[in-house]
Structure 1
Amino acid sequence: MKLKRFANIDPIEQHTSLKQFKRWRQERIRRLKLKDYSFTVPNVEPDIAYLEDNRKQPSITWVGHSTFFIQLGGLNIITDPVWSTQMALQKRLAPPGIKVEDVPPVDVVLISHSHYDHLNINSLRKLIGTRQLLVPAGLGTKLRKKGFIHIKELHWWESVMIHGVKFTFVPSQHSTRRSPWDTNSSHWGGFVIERPATKTGKVVSRPEGKAKAKASDKGAAEAESRAQIASAAEPLATRTTSFFNELGAAERPILSESPTIYFAGDSGYFQGFKEIGKRFPVEVALLPIGAYEPEWFMGPQHITPEQALQAFDDLDAKWFVPMHYGAFKLADDTPREALDRLDAERMKRCIADKRIIVLPHGETWRLSGK
């Protein structure tokens, strides 16, 4: 039987040929010798006791790369579980924010696609709990062969409800492969996590007057950003190391008890971000900012920090949590470069810095004030 192959919404050139890969590898040998990896994303002591006891309030904890421990609607959710100490021949740059053996029982696992930096079988096996796996279409057979039972495959825009929490698989621009023979045999995408109904049973919709509020806040945001630019006497590369001290020490914003969270998985820039923003009132966007260099090779599948901010705008989201950087040398950019470019573009776009939540590994952002 002919193997089903999945495709992106927009036809793009996938840079997957052996010739292109060899060119990148040759360039990389020269380029990495000039790279500075002295800066690493810091780790903070995780609040395991809180995570174990909390079944009521929403929270987000960054484990590292694309792995988050999310609590919403009484569920413990893990995204793209990877606790690997290395990727290919490259050692991990910073340890995971939570040790895999310390992760509380997991109810739901969201897997965006089959690439090894997003799906590690050994890591998945070490998680405890019921572990209902929500995976892209075409990936279920591989996981069943590995011994996993609770699996639900989803196509783009399909949803599943688990104990009052709705999970919708949404498009991204990417590809998949775990061997030379299974290219694009399973799908790829992101997930929107939401609690779509209030206690009265009314569907939660985008708040009325949001456009007006956004317009009225624009002037203040622009003034704040201009002041930041004027006062930024030290170079961005120097300020990067203070991101976590300044922003991490500050009080995190308090959201609703039922925030809508968008986990992008892995993606190049595409118009699908706008469609996701039209369909869902995204409050928190977990977006990748790393593995983009060289852009001629990585561009079709990985967004740059500048494109991540464009996606944030397309989604019309309120808060942006950067991910997919700081753990592995998947491409030629460094964690510092990714953060520097993100901050430079943020100021250029006059986006208030408080809307970018730069988490260290292991920190829990408690989304509700209760």
Structure 2
Amino acid sequence: MMMRYANLDGVENKKTFKDMRKWQKERKAKVKDLTSQIEQSPVKKITEINENRSKTTYTWIGHSTFLIQLNGMNILTDPVWAKRMGFQKRLTAPGIALEDIPEIDVVVISHGHYDHLDFPTLKKVKGNPHYYVPAGLKSLFLKKGYQNVTELNWWDSAENQGISIHFVPAQHWTRRSLNDMNTSHWGGWIFQNEKETLYFVGDTGYFSGFKQIADRFEIDTVFMPIGAYEPEWFMAVSHINPEDSIKAFLELRAKTFVPMHYGAYRLADDTGPEALARLYRAWENQQLPKEQLKVLLLGETIGHFKEDLFV
């Protein structure tokens, strides 16, 4: 009997084939401007990130992929450099080419959907990374030939070179084939050292788990999804919209908000610029401090503290 994983509070994604057809009809009736896309950073710190052994930085590659440098380690979140996702071409090029990324020490996977777990990308990642994956996914990694794999369930943790790595809940689902619906888990990843705590949310709808996470961790920076929410009657269970992402950020009591999961692939009907505009508008409406919102251009690298910034 295969293990089937579930969300907190019994929340399920119960959309049917009929719902899917309804969405397809709605999409045909919508005209979206795809000529405007998220911009590339005019400055790419490729040399600096390859030489960095001490500074805390993060670089947005695109979608949910970040290069995080912490404790002298190079961490990749949900590495996906794929040029296509299903029938859709990638809308924006990765911010930094895969061959320009340094050797990787740690890779974390939020869940098994193809826009978050891309084995053709993993084959090309430099180094011999340790893979941290949700419960239920290790067997697939072993089948693919990866041996350095640690599988965690919600609230489990592991240690790696002075960093505590925690797997925390998200509200989502997963599937890679006809018969493996929710046979592996989904969630976010928290990285802690003595100075700071970074939270990579993964893929999620808005849910009560944010408050639970805030009760256990003091978050400095949160990498928060804001896209793939439209139509909301179809997507809301699994994809958070920009307004609710701010609500989650406030519940987390985090210091810095870094948006992600927008602009790279057309997974839903919203566009990257639309998601970002809604985020800016909601941020201003709530009169939140501008310095707490860090919107990165593709390939942009910033440090975590003022003394860590590359100059």
Same fold (TM over 0.5): yes
Question: Is the contact between residue 61 and residue 298 of structure 2 (CA under 8 Å) also seen in structure 1?
Answer: yes
More off after superposition, 20-29 vs 50-59 = 20-29
After TM superposition, give the deviation of residue 15 of structure 1 in Å: 3.5
Cα distance in 2 for partners of 1:7, 1:314 equals 23
Cα distance in 1 for partners of 2:291, 2:304 equals 14
SS at match of 1:10: helix
Residue 24 of structure 1 is matched in structure 2 by: 23
The runs of at least 4 consecutive aligned structure 1 residues that moved more than 2 Å come to: none
Residue 38 of structure 2 is matched in structure 1 by: 41
| CA deviation string 1:259-312 (max 9, x = no partner) | 210000000000101111111110101000000000010000000000000000
Residue 363 of structure 1 is matched in structure 2 by: 300
After TM superposition, give the deviation of residue 26 of structure 1 in Å: 2.1
Amino acid at match of 1:88: G
Percent of aligned pairs with the same amino acid: 47
Question: Is the contact between residue 15 and residue 297 of structure 1 (CA under 8 Å) also seen in structure 2?
Answer: no
2:202 is equivalent to residue 265 of structure 1: yes
Residue 181 of structure 2 is matched in structure 1 by: 183
Cα distance in 2 for partners of 1:53, 1:259 equals 22
Cα distance in 1 for partners of 2:217, 2:141 equals 30
- Within 5 Å, which residues of 2 pair with 1:289-308? 289-308=226-245
Q: Of 169, 172, 190, which aligns to 1:171?
A: 169
After TM superposition, give the deviation of residue 365 of structure 1 in Å: 0.7
Question: Is the contact between residue 66 and residue 76 of structure 2 (CA under 8 Å) also seen in structure 1?
Answer: yes
Amino acid at match of 1:18: F
- Within 5 Å, which residues of 2 pair with 1:103-114? 103-114=101-112
- Within 5 Å, which residues of 2 pair with 1:91-102? 91-102=89-100
> RMSD of aligned C-alpha atoms?
1.0
Gaps of 5+ in 2: none
Q: Whose helix proportion is higher, 1 or 2?
A: 1
| CA deviation string 1:202-260 (max 9, x = no partner) | xxxxxxxxxxxxxxxxxxxxxxxxxxxxxxxxxxxxxxxxxxxxxxxxxxxxxxxx321
Q: Of 146, 158, 176, which aligns to 2:144?
A: 146
- TM (norm. structure 1) is 0.81
- Within 5 Å, which residues of 2 pair with 1:1-370? 2-31=1-30, 34-44=31-41, 45-195=43-193, 197=194, 258-368=195-305, 369-370=307-308
| CA deviation string 1:151-173 (max 9, x = no partner) | 00000000000000010000000
- TM (norm. structure 2) is 0.96
Amino acid at match of 1:261: L
Question: Is the contact between residue 157 and residue 171 of structure 1 (CA under 8 Å) also seen in structure 2?
Answer: yes
| CA deviation string 1:336-368 (max 9, x = no partner) | 211111111111211122211000010101123
After TM superposition, give the deviation of residue 76 of structure 1 in Å: 0.3
Cα distance in 1 for partners of 2:278, 2:248 equals 15
Amino acid at match of 1:311: A
Residue 238 of structure 1 is matched in structure 2 by: none
Structure label with greater radius of gyration = 1
Distance 1:178 1:16, change over 3 A: farther
SS at match of 2:167: strand
After TM superposition, give the deviation of residue 102 of structure 1 in Å: 1.0
| CA deviation string 1:91-116 (max 9, x = no partner) | 11110011111110000000000000
SS at match of 1:342: helix
SS at match of 2:10: coil
Amino acid at match of 1:114: G
After TM superposition, give the deviation of residue 12 of structure 1 in Å: 2.0
Question: What is the number of residues matched between the two proteins?
Answer: 306
